[in-house]
Structure 1
Amino acid sequence: NPLSLVLAYLLQEMPVVLYWLEHSPPVRSVNLVLHALDLPVEYVDVDLYKQDQLSPWYLKLNPLHTVPLIDDDGFILWESRAIMTYLVSKYGKNDSLYPKDIQKRAIVDQRLHYSNDVFYVVGELTQGIAFRQKAPTPELLEKIKEAQENIEKLLTGNKYIAGDSLTVADYSFITLVDLIEVYSPPKNKFPLTKEWFERCKLNMKYFDKANKKGADTVVNKVKKFLGQS
């Protein structure tokens, strides 16, 4: 049916709308996955510094007032890990980024859930600096070091976070590591993490285009506050 083919083509080309703050780590993770899937994207700025996320129009979309959020042809979804697994499940040409094998998927999910714990600590530190000019506490810095050690452990015997293949778990962690290393300089103590980061840079499509500008912005902001630049 020619009409159904035309409709399918048009639906495929409809952009996914990404509500974002460019330097947010979870936003950058989603942006990297969108680029990995070669999906057309329309960006809508949500400026957390101006409290756009508390505007009535945004609270209707996301009552938890966080970014990222996507609108996929009217389907609204927030929470970066949910967004990434949804996008790969719907648009992936294969299941490599989010395996259908139930045990492989369970490992990816396990790592994704842990990335949320890591983001909580990174977010506490970074939001404290960005929004409240609050210096890092020794307790949070200790948690950062623990996360650093755990990431190295996860990579022991693995090329990637959840095994020997690139998955959405890597996309969730990759945008956290640059900030982790600002708070706790690695001093060559985590060689597997360093190798993994370089491997991801090589194998994640459009890594710099989808990530670098936002990463540089937040890293430089934190470095300046900590007197590292």
Structure 2
Amino acid sequence: MENETITPVFTKEKGVDNKDKMPNSNIDFYYFLPSPPCRSVMLLAKALGVQMNQKITSILAGDNMTPEYLRLNPQHTIPTLNDNGFILFESRAILQYLVDQYAKDDSLSPKEAKKAAIVNQRLYFDACTLMPRLVQYMGPVLRHAQTPDKEKLGNFEEALGYLDEFLENQTWAAGSQLTIADFALISTVSTAEAIGVDISKFPNVNAWFQRTKNAMTGFGYEEINQAGCAIIGGMFKNKAK
């Protein structure tokens, strides 16, 4: 498994389902590459073969506060998806939608109740614990050039410890197969590594991290996720001086 690379085979084939479920280029995607949630969606879209019109929305430049953007997303968050008039924000909801709408099967988001519950638990853990704690640590540095807070780093590392336990004797985040939980979590964990968090302290997380990076090579991991990590990592380290 360590050397496995998964190629994009998740897309519905023509004739398998309704034509309106086929990937198309009429999807507008508003994103900012340093944003981990944006990157998770971009990786999944690549895996599914879903083409999107990518519209850079810089939160640093206030692109997310324009009247036009606020009509799409009153929360002024990123990412935002506009699929032929269907508007959706919150990245993990977008991950679920893309699979439900465009995947050829349910391998990335199982329908069986118990398997689905584990995927959802991992998604909620990322949304409600792991990512917020990372933001609490890196946010004051990025926004106000504050000295990194060791206590906040400790809180984030505590969450990584939880993830390490989840991954005990597991190949992927939610079990034996790659799911949308891996797409969400990889963007968070890779961002943490980029700003200097020592992932190697958590052996199960580190093994999963290396395995998932390799598996997502065919989904544009380097040009999407690693490129975004490099930007935010550079910003953090520059501000933290």
Q: TM-score, normalised by structure 2?
A: 0.85
Note the alpha carbon deviations across 1:30-49, whole angstroms, 9 max, x for none: 11011010111111111111
Q: SS of 2:88's equivalent? A: strand
After superposition, the Cα gap between the structure-2 partners of 1:93 and 1:196, relative to the gap in structure 1 and judged at 3 Å, is: same
1:169-184 paired onto structure 2 within 5 Å: 169-181=181-193, 182-184=195-197
1:11–1:169 distance in 2 versus 1, CA, 3 Å: closer
For 1:116-136, what per-residue CA distance to the aligned partner results, in whole angstroms no more than 9, with x for missing partners? 121112123333222222333
Contact between 1:49 and 1:131, CA under 8 Å: does it hold in 2? no
Q: Distance in 2 between matches of 1:63 and 1:99?
A: 31
1:139 corresponds to 2:151: yes
Question: What count of residue pairs does the alignment treat as equivalent?
Answer: 221
Aligned partners of 2:205, 2:190: CA distance in 1, in Å?
Answer: 11
Tell me what 2:136 maps to: 124
Which secondary structure does the structure 2 equivalent of 1:49 belong to? Answer: coil
Q: Higher relative CO (CA 8 A, sep ≥ 6), structure 1 or 2?
A: 2
TM-score by length of 1: 0.89
CA root-mean-square deviation: 2.0
Give structure 1 stretches of 5+ with no counterpart: none
Deviation at 1:9, TM superposition (A): 7.7
Counterpart selection for 1:156 from 153, 168, 173: 168
The structure where helix makes up a greater share of residues is 1
Equivalent residue number for residue 224 of structure 2: 210
Report if the CA contact (8 A) 1:178-1:219 is conserved.
no
The answer to whether the Cα contact below 8 Å between 1:32 and 1:207 also exists between their aligned partners in 2 is yes
Q: SS of 1:13's equivalent?
A: coil
* Aligned equivalents of 1:198, 1:178: Cα separation in 2: 10
Q: Return the alpha-carbon distance in structure 2 between the equivalents of residues 131 and 53 of structure 1.
A: 17
Q: Letter of the aligned partner of 1:93 in structure 2?
A: K
What is residue 31 of structure 1 aligned with on the other side?
42
5+ long unaligned stretches in structure 2: 1-14
2:198 alignment partner in structure 1: 185
Is 2:209 the counterpart of 1:167? Answer: no
Overall identity of the aligned pairs, in %: 33
SS in 2 for 1:108: helix
